[in-house]
Amino acid sequence: MQQEYVSVEEILKACSYINEPDDILLIQKSYNTSLKYHEGQKRKSGEPYFNHCAHTAINIARQKMDVETICAGLLHDTLEDTLYTHAEMEEDFGITITNLVDGVTKLGKVKYSGAERHVESLRKFLIAMSDDMRVVVVKLCDRLHNINTLEYVDVHKRKRIALETLEIHARLADRLGMGRLKAELEDGSFPYVYPVEFAKTKEIIQNIQENEKTLIDVVEKLSEELRVFEVNIERVDHRVKHLYSLWQKLKKYDYDINKIHDIFALRIIVSSMSDCYQALGVVHGLYKPKPGRFKDYIAVPKPNGYQSLHTSIFTGNGDTLEIQIRTREMHEEAEYGIASHLFYKEIGKNISKEKINSKTNWTKDLLDWQKGISKHDVFLKQLKEDFFNHRVFVFTPKGDVIDLPDGSTPIDFAYQIHSDIGDHALRAYSNDKLVPFDYIIKNKDILRIETSENAKPNRKWISTCKSQFAKRHIRSWLKEHGGLMDKFLVK
């Protein structure tokens, strides 16, 4: 019977980066406790329920999380689905692991149905994020295993669960910078939500596999050249674009595969930031770069913290190839996001609390924002628009980066800086040029808002701005000042 269960050796293999004997014993203890209390429970597939907990823990370990989070993954359903009590868990595992499991458990205790259940669950998700970000990581890894076993769920539920995963869970993983987890959630959900498009995209990627030979040739040639110039490289490898991400680009370019230059990407992992730019010089010295395709995400990171140099080159045989250059730390953040900071903090590296908080400040804005919305359908719609849609990042004159929804205007920018600046915005400047308030902000714009005590919001601003955050502030001002608002028509 033991052969039915995921073994403790499989768990420990996934946790190979954890070496402290006490930590290994704690994982083994969590394994045995979960196995004991879930004994006899089955999933719809007929598999032991414990295996779901084990795979959740493996998914967490693949994100390089700390030992407490892995243990919480193994135990995450015991408080809700077994006779194991809160007091017993606290005595056995301490307050930290118990609080993590309790946080995950609370996310599941929702007494609603249909759309209300989904929205109320999501509200609790957001609140849990403010208590301990690791609760969210456990829940996302739990969802990943559920998506990977979705074939055993009732047919009429599959699409709903997969769509929810695409729209919320994958977007949340993206906002946390967890690129690997985001891609796995998307690719696992893709065939259930868009089966025809999934099949078409899969066929396209299979038909271009022969191009991988060109990439391998470039890897060999570049590796040799980088060694000649004594660039401190840790490794050179390559990746194939994930199916869901490829489909998103295919839609953008009307399924013209020739317009997509990053189906295959070569990654150069180096030792330091200076090595990144030295490697870039070697690449451009060996291959002609494609104009307009260079992006420096090291100097200007993406809103979720992603850093890398991107360039596209002509390979010499008619193909183009994207090359990404980054340090090992940048690469791990691209793969694991906030989890990489939590892990480094756990093993004693110099990662400050302020650096971790700087990666998740948007969650505080999100929590403040959601308190003022009561209608479930409005909440879900606005959440997608304000926090999970594509983002743009722009600069203040001092060089601070401001993260806004795609399609935002200077009004959104003003209110994001401070409500007083929004309420008294008189003129807007982008890159030192005067722009109207309905100007659509572009990535890397440098924005400046000129204010005046006599300038006030007006009704037109509601349709001008994009974010619900700004719209709510404008409506609040209009309501507070009654009929005065129409006097002030700031252009």
Active site residue 154: no
Q: Which of 80, 90, 225, 450 is catalytic?
A: 80
Q: How many CB atoms lie within 10 A of CB 254?
A: 7
Contact of 137 with 336, CB cutoff 8 Å: no
Active site residue 220: no
Q: Which of 10, 23, 47, 81 is catalytic?
A: 81
| 453 closest CA partner among 490, 424, 422 | 424
| Active site residues per annotation | 80-81
